[in-house]
Amino acid sequence: MTPLRSIAFVVNAQKNGAAEIANDLKQRARTAGVAVKETHEFPVPADFLTDCDACCVIGGDGTLLGVASIAAEAGVPIIGVNRGSLGFLTPFSAEEAREQFASLIAGEFEIAERALLECSTVTDQRDLALNDVVIKDENHSGLVRLSVHADGELVTNYTCDGLIFSTPTGSTAYNLSAGGPLIHPNAGVIALTPISPHTLSNRSIIFQQDVKLKVAPESNDTCLLVAVDGQRNIRICEGDTVDITISAKRLQLVQRADFKHFGVVRTKLKWSGGVTNGT
C-alpha cells in the first residue's frame, strides 16, 4: 500500500486510556512527517476526512460505527484501536498499535473491504449501515406488523418486536443475539432476522447481494423507528416505506497481517464447539 501522509484521529475520550494512546500515536506520526488532525466530536463532521489517507479510530466498536458511513463515502480506510470491550471492528490493541504504527504509516498493511447496507425512504431519507438496520415500533414498546418484499415479491408478513437486516460484518452483533446466523464477512448476502416473532415458523432468511428489499408497516396508525448501526434514527409513518440494498460503496478496514476472522470470533465470543473434560 502507499505510505500514509495524513491521518485523521477520531478519539472517544470517554474510553479509558484513549486520549493517551492518541497522543502517543499522533507524536509517532508527526515524527514520521505525517500530517495529523483530531476530533472528539460525535457525530464526526461530514468533511473531517477530506484529503486524509487514513482515519485512526480509538475507542470501541460503537465509536467506529459512528465513523463508518463518512469513511465509506470519503473512501478513507479506518485503523481501529480497541479501548472498548469486544472489539470486533477495532482489531488493534493499544500495544499492537504502538508496535506496528511505523509499519502502518509506511503502508505495510492489508485492507478488508466490508459491505454496507443502504436504507432509504419515500421521503428521501438515506443512510449507510456497516452492521445493521433495525426496524421497530418508535416507542420500542409494542408489536409491529411489517410486510417484506424482495425484488417485488412478497416474502411474508411479520408480527414481531422488530426486524434486523444485517450485513455479514454485523452478523456477530444484534443479529446473533436474536438467534441469527454467523456469516463470514466476505459473503455477499443480507440476513433478515425477526425479533421475538409471534410464530415458530419465522426464522432468519439469507438474501443474495443484489436483492432489493422493501419494508412497509401493515397498520395505518404505526410509526416506526429505523435504527442505523444503533447510531442514527429515521422515523417513518403511514404511507412511507424503507428500501434496503447492499450499497455500491465499501468500508475499508485496516487489518493486521495475521488477522483470522474465525479466530477473532472464537476469542471474542469464547466460542468452542468442542467437548472438554468428558462433558
pLDDT per residue of the chain (279 residues) written in tens, 0 to 9: 899 999 999 999 999 999 999 999 999 999 999 999 999 999 899 899 999 999 999 999 999 999 999 999 999 999 999 997 777 889 899 999 999 999 999 999 999 999 999 999 988 899 999 999 999 998 877 789 999 999 999 999 999 999 999 999 999 999 999 999 999 999 999 999 999 998 877 789 999 999 999 999 987 777 899 999 999 999 988 778 999 999 999 999 998 777 777 777 787 777 776 655 544
Distance CA(142)–CA(136), nearest Å, equals: 8
The answer for residues whose C-beta is within 8 angstroms of residue 174's C-beta and 6 or more apart is 131, 132, 134, 164, 166, 230
The answer for residues whose C-beta is within 8 angstroms of residue 3's C-beta and 6 or more apart is 105, 106, 107
The alpha carbons of the chain give a radius of gyration, in whole angstroms, of 20
Which of 61, 127, 132, 161 is an active site residue? 61
Distance CA(197)–CA(210), nearest Å, equals: 26
Architecture of domain 116-248: Sandwich (2.60)
pLDDT the model gives residue 275 = 55
pLDDT the model gives residue 96 = 93
Question: Quick one: 6-109+256-269 is in which CATH superfamily?
Answer: Probable inorganic polyphosphate/atp-NAD kinase; domain 1 (3.40.50.10330)
- DSSP letter string over 26-42? HHHHHHTT-EEEEE--S
The reply to whether 210 belongs to the active site is: no
pLDDT the model gives residue 34 = 98
Report CA-CA distances (Å) from 188 to 42, 88, 183, 206.
30, 19, 10, 10
Distance CA(91)–CA(173), nearest Å, equals: 16
Cα angle 35, 231, 261; round to 5: 70
What residue segments make up the domains of the chain, in order of their start? 6-109+256-269, 116-248
Report CA torsion sign: 207, 127, 85, 260: positive
Cβ-contact 138, 100 below 8 angstroms: no
Please give the model's pTM, rounded to 2 decimal places: 0.91
Distance CA(111)–CA(120), nearest Å, equals: 28
pLDDT the model gives residue 273 = 64
**Grid coordinates standing for 239?**
404511507
